[in-house]
Copies of this chain bind each other. A is one copy, B any other.
Amino acid sequence: MPNDQLSATFAALADPTRRAILKKLTRGQKTVSELAAPFQMTLPAISKHLKVLAKAGLIERSRDAQWRPCRLRAAPLKQASHWIELYREFWEERLDRLDDYLKKLQSKENDRVAGK
């Protein structure tokens, strides 16, 4: 298992339960029980997911021994976003080709109207 930050971030995101936990934390800090409630999972199962998220730096657990709420740390997502954005031109390529085609059509129509 590679242990670079970007790999850890993507590995942490590669699970729907972990993504749902992050989404829940966008509405503020939560206890482990609050996070576990909607998933019908045991606390140990949720704790395992929280460990993966914490190791990737995507959540932070308070030191308060009684309550230990989790909160979102989105900083690693910035690097992940930068990596993915380098590929934007490739997923938009088809759209660009369509755009070029429509521009050509428009240009021909303009020439026709201008009597060229």
Contact = CB atoms under 8 A, between A and B. Distances in A.
Task: Determine how many copies of this chain the complex contains.
Answer: 2
Interface residues of A, number: 32
B26 A2 contact: no
Contacts of A83: 13, 19
Contacts of A86: 23, 26
A82 B31 CA distance: 27
A6 interface: yes
B78 A81 contact: no
Interface stretch (A39-47, A87-95, A96-104, A107-115): A87-95
Nearest to A13: B10
Given A14-B14, A77-B91, A6 B19 contact: yes
